[in-house]
Copies of this chain bind each other. A is one copy, B any other.
């Protein structure tokens, strides 16, 4: 999955990227729930590095809003309040649409293949729900779809906003606030619709589908699970 090379061939930046991506995934997938304290010393020991490069990673995560360090107290995984969540989703709606309008890029065969594989995995998850596996699949698809715009700044911000709120959505799955089976089905339908739009070359339509699904996802999260289902 990640870079598996002898450390002798890994540059400092590679090591940074690996640690950053790994810790970010752990936070986004709720391996570290909001409020959890991340021990610099423990993590450094686990990754086999000293505290110095690890602190650099934590500082980056702090600038991304995923953790917060307090001198003398500790470094804690942040939580997101409902107001900030709503604002972030509003922006994500706009950015999703912009993705199909500004500097659109035709889908590569690789992207189409990824989507097909993702659809397969989603079909499996519909029959055997798994919150963490679904969240990971969701993240992979989101990041892959960013290749549909050539606008670097747009990609960067869309990714940052997604990363910032993904775990909150996952939290509402674990708390049974939303129905995992329903979420998985909706996700599968979204992928299929996007595949169809991309197959016809309608990039703007693919973006609008994403926008619609982001909107619906947030609505389901706000409304909460309807009793009588599940």
For A62, the closest partner residue in chain B by CB is: B60
Complex formed: what's the CA distance from A94 to B100 in Å? 14
Interchain CB contact under 8 A, A153 and B87? yes
Q: Which of B63, B88, B91, B103 has a CB less than 8 Å from the CB of A98?
A: B91
A56 at the binding interface (Cβ < 8 Å): yes
Closest to A87 in B: B151
The answer to whether A105 has its CB under 8 Å from any CB of chain B is no
The digit string for A142-164, where 1 denotes a CB below 8 A from any CB of B, is 00000000111110010001001
Within the oligomer, what is the number of copies of this chain? Answer: 2
Q: Select which of B56, B63, B102, B157 is within 8 A of A157 by beta carbon.
A: B157
Is residue A11 contacting chain B, with contact meaning CB distance below 8 A?
Answer: yes
Contact yes or no, B103 A87, CB < 8 A: yes
- The verdict on A102 contacting B91 (CB below 8 Å), with A60-B59, A71-B11 known, is yes
How many interface residues does A have (CB within 8 Å)? 25
**Beta-carbon contacts of A51-62 to B below 8 Å, as 1s and 0s?**
000001001100
A153 surroundings in chain B (CB, below 8 A): 84, 87-88, 91, 161, 164
Task: Confirm or deny: A9 has a beta carbon within 8 angstroms of a beta carbon on chain B.
Answer: no
Pairwise interchain contact A87-B152, C-beta atoms closer than 8 A: yes
A12 at the interface (CB under 8 A from B): yes
A136 within 8 Å of B (CB atoms) = no
Chain A residues with a Cβ under 8 A of chain B: 11-13, 56, 59-60, 63, 71, 84, 87-88, 90-91, 94, 98, 102-103, 150-154, 157, 161, 164
Please name the 8 residue pairs, one residue from A and one from B, whose CB atoms are nearest each other, closest first: A87-B151, A157-B157, A91-B153, A88-B153, A90-B102, A12-B71, A91-B154, A63-B63
